[in-house]
A and B are shown apart, each in its own frame.
Chain A
Amino acid sequence: MEIYETMNETLKKRLESFKADYSVDGAAAARVTRPTMPFYGTETLEMAVSALLDGENLLLCGDKATGKNILAENLAWMFGRPVYNMSFHVNTDSSTLIGTDTFINNEVKLRRGPVYQCAVYGGFGILDEINMAKSDAVSVLHATLDYRRMIDVPGYDRIDLHPAARFIGTMNYGYAGTKELNEALVSRFMVIKMPTLSQDHLTKIFNSAVPGAKLASLEQFAGLFLDLQAKAKNGEISTKPVDLRGMIGSLKLIKGGLNPRSAVTMGVTNKCFDNFEQGIVEDIVMTRIPKAWGSGDVFE
């Protein structure tokens, strides 16, 4: 993996020895998966790897589209650990995370939740949008994340965390419904503030998500994304059109044969539901993506 190559030698050696020390249980082997795209940013990667090697948990904070989840997935892959993804939403409670009673072969047994499995198999638990977690869910994390490294399952056993188990929280200030993390929870993490993506990184991401595009054209899409990001940061538009997934979706449609302007309209512009905001976004698109462009102008 390209990014892995640029990392410093000491960390690489320690990473190799970590992988050698902790093998993956067969039951969880299917969860060790190659991420959909690599993470670009050696410095951030080194910070994250160092923290995880020393047994710390990570909290990745950053704006929309800074690659928080991509980094988390890449870290799990680099450490060769199974991934357990937990998306926090209003219905996530302690029983969802740890597990609770269910029927297995006509017997009431414990249905093991992702935190439980992560603890047993030494996985990497990705706590997505951790600041959406309700107090009930947060209480589970406290004992799991600190020095005690154990989970007490009501009515069942007390289990200790596998030495290779780590938790990576991601959060984004500013989404509606998010709240400030309490001090006790934050103190259980090492925090990385995710840097904003550069044009170069964005081009690489687009290229890796939708291969086969011309570099010069991809730069226009990356530039468009950065223009929108700057505009949202300056409070001129909302963050709705600043959507990396939408941009990648547009590129996929272009690859499929749709003309670029229409694809961007679907993937980006139409995400604004305010007419004036839409006008502003259209103007930026106009300076980047010519109307005359066809699919062949973007892809080889």
Chain B
Amino acid sequence: MKEEGKVKESRDGQIREFNRQAVARRLRNLIWTVSGDYGLDLPVDTAAFRALPCTALYDAVRRGAFCHFFDGPALDRYLRKKVLNGAEPTVLYPIALMCVDSAVWKKLSGERNGVPEVREDAFKETLEKDQMRLTHTNWGELEASYLRFCLTGESQADWAQGYVDQICSIRDAETTGQVIDCVDQVYEQAYEKGFADWFKGLEQMTEAGGRNDDKESEQGGEEEEQTVGLFSWESQEDEEDGQKGDQGLVVLEDEAMAKIRDYVENTYGKSYLEPVEQRRVESRLCRGTHSERHLHFTEGLLHGEGKEIPVGEDIRDSDLTETGAGVPADSFKYQFAWQVREENLRVYKEHELVTRQNIRSLAEVLLRGLFVRQEPETFASEYGTICVNKLWNLGRTRNRKLFTRKYIQETDQFAVEVLIDSSGSQQTRQSRVALQAYTISEALSLAGIAHQVMGFCTFGDFTILRRFRDYDDGPEANERIFEFYGSANNRDGLAVRAAADSLLKRPEEHKILIVLSDGTPNDVVVAKSKFVKTKNGRIRPERKKAEPKPGSNTDRDEDKSREPYCAEFAVRDTAGEVYSQRNQGIAILGIFAGEEEALPAEREIFGNEFVYIRDIAEFSKVVGRYLKERIMEQ
């Protein structure tokens, strides 16, 4: 019973998490739509959506609109500064939101006719369901007065009406300065000079350590880390379970950074791309979230321009002093790669008969599908090749279909790419993953389908794409898959983008990408000198001397590329990549072999096109089934 309870609890947790991510994506999309800027990354309140859905939706609309018409970060900077100077956030922020609403709603309604209705629904909902907050304090009552005034136009209590009028007076504001002035004036008059000393709710606020000027000097610079923001993530770090915190952030000295490339080459093998081509690919693919990242395309330590080691040959029998990849044959890394291959081969030999059988049956399934496709389809037509036995119809019946036409499907229409997560999470099952990938690759070779098998992992700034076999390689290349091993992290979005890029270059009509992953894209963000450690040991971007130009895309890209690539951010990025590649015409199947907890993330990434396999041994069967369906469908 206990076990059942635990399973149910875990399922409920997954559903909750999945819904939370879906709501967050929905709210963000609303912000992006209204602002027209898909680079914006504003915090969204998914908890509020559950309680007050209309209000949460309108809040997204309102903040998106403010970024569209005004300078959101400038207002944020003002609010942060104000809080640092002792202003009470629980009063300042609702006032700021009212001013934001007043400044944007009229302009936005002109652009989007549906907004007044959304606003009305949101205000009614807040007044109805958030009464506790609105009646608990006098600044809550001020907000309620504003909402009522906007809904009905009726005068409110004398003390509140003046402030409401002041807030409403900025409906035609054209600059952020006007909005800031209004926030400042209302706050100063209402809170500082006016009701601070007699308003209800003050006691609770001061008990909670709110407005206390003495604390300001004690906290000094450290407080900067705890301020809140409407248009940036800064303050939400602590509230969102550390998701946007410095999780996954590692600071490296510049010297160490410079050595990463050497390390990557020594560990994974040299790149098979020419430097010029390498730069071209990086400049095309390493953009947005992945700007300042590098791609490293390699064939592994055991391969390269030089001598190849045939499968089965013992390195100790070989007279190599240096491998093709330019790594000394007696180096630890080389020995390791060779040992992994030997271990994977040993597992293969152990299961050779079963594997051969699996390959044959999988190949048969694919060949049958292709055979059905290639079968010439003959149909009656009014033109084509004359059909003598139908000529009696002439002059006797109205049947004019006395000809037959043949339709033969082209055979070389499929290109498949198998992309395997080679991060550390695969270490425990690397031999089995290699065996399954080999089974698929062999079957595809037997069926004559062009395919590429790649592994991906990320180390430092480098996402390593290890090519085991290229599309046009012969079946002998399949054995290279036994060199598969797991290490480091995984930046799935960039890997999917790079894999899709090579697939899109193929001439075949139907392009299929199969991604085996654990559903948890996770990358360590390597911070260079652009990041500094604060006194309390946290890491934040180094403050620039010159104020950045608001809305500058370069700055934003840079900031985004330094965002910890994990949890929701990474899932969202990978999901976006999968979507955009599907829009390019690539069929993508996600195969998930991770923990059940990551199921919602996998679903968000791949939508309906994903399969959960509990045992990696099912990998090749699932792929076979999917490919057969695709072949028959097209």
Contact = CB atoms under 8 A, between A and B. Distances in A.
Nearest to A99: B383
Nearest to B582: A238
Nearest to B111: A223
A296 interface: no
A283 B29 contact: yes
Interface stretch (A32-40, A140-148, A184-192, A286-294): A286-294
B576 A236 contact: yes
B583 A239 contact: yes
B26 A176 contact: no
Nearest to A227: B33
Given A95-B383, A283-B29, A290-B117, A232 B583 contact: yes
A283 B579 contact: no
B114 A276 contact: no
Contacts of A280: 25-26, 29
A101 B400 CA distance: 12
Contacts of B386: 101, 108
Interface string A86-105: 00001101010001111100
A149 interface: no
Contacts of A234: 32, 38, 576, 580
A235 interface: yes
Contacts of A85: none
Contacts of A91: 407
A90 B379 CA distance: 14
B582 A231 contact: no
B410 A135 contact: yes
Contacts of A103: 382, 394, 400, 402
A299 B409 CA distance: 49
Contacts of B383: 95, 99-102, 111
Interface string A168-185: 000001111111101000
Contacts of A100: 383-384, 403
A111 B382 CA distance: 9
B577 interface: yes
A285 interface: yes
A283 B509 contact: no
Nearest to A111: B383
B300 to A, nearest CB: 30
A101 B548 CA distance: 72
A236 B29 contact: yes
B118 to A, nearest CB: 6
A220 interface: yes
Contacts of B580: 234-235
A274 B395 CA distance: 54
Given A101-B383, A111-B383, A235-B580, A175 B114 contact: no
Contacts of A95: 383-384, 405
Report the interface size class on chain A. 35 or more
A20 B34 CA distance: 52
A195 interface: no
Contact of B584 (A134, A174, A287, A288): A174
Interface in B116-131: 116-118
A66 to B, nearest CB: 15
Contact of B116 (A99, A102, A290): A290
Interface string B26-58: 100110111010100000000000000000010
A182 B608 CA distance: 34
Contacts of B410: 134-135
A178 B395 contact: no
Interface string A223-248: 10001001110111111000000000
B222 interface: no
A238 B607 CA distance: 11
Contact of A286 (B114, B507, B608): B114
Contacts of B111: 223
B598 interface: no
A279 B22 contact: yes
A106 interface: yes
A288 B113 contact: yes
Determine which residue in A108, A276, A288 has the highest number of CB atoms from chain B within 10 A of its CB, and name it: A276
Given A178-B509, A179-B508, A230-B33, A288 B407 contact: no
A291 B117 contact: yes
Given A101-B384, A102-B382, A274 B608 contact: yes
Interface in B447-479: none
Interface string B503-543: 00001111000000000000000000000000000000000
A95 B384 CA distance: 7
A284 interface: yes
Given A177-B509, A180-B507, A290 B113 contact: yes
A283 B115 CA distance: 11
A289 B384 contact: no
A280 B25 CA distance: 8
B634 interface: yes
Contacts of B407: 90-91, 93
Contacts of B405: 93, 95
Nearest to B21: A276
Given A177-B510, A230-B36, A292-B117, A101 B585 contact: no
Contacts of A279: 22, 26
9 contacts: A101-B403, A174-B585, A177-B585, A231-B32, A237-B579, A279-B26, A285-B114, A286-B57, A287-B34
Interface of A: 90-91, 93, 95, 99-103, 106, 108, 111, 134-135, 173-180, 182, 216-217, 220, 223, 227, 230-232, 234-239, 274, 276, 279-280, 283-293
Sorted nearest first, the 7 A-B pairs with minimum C-beta distance are A235-B580, A102-B383, A235-B579, A234-B38, A235-B576, A111-B383, A287-B112
Given A217-B113, A284-B33, 17 more contacts: A91-B407, A93-B405, A95-B383, A102-B403, A103-B382, A174-B583, A176-B587, A177-B510, A220-B113, A231-B33, A234-B576, A276-B25, A276-B26, A279-B22, A280-B26, A290-B113, A291-B114
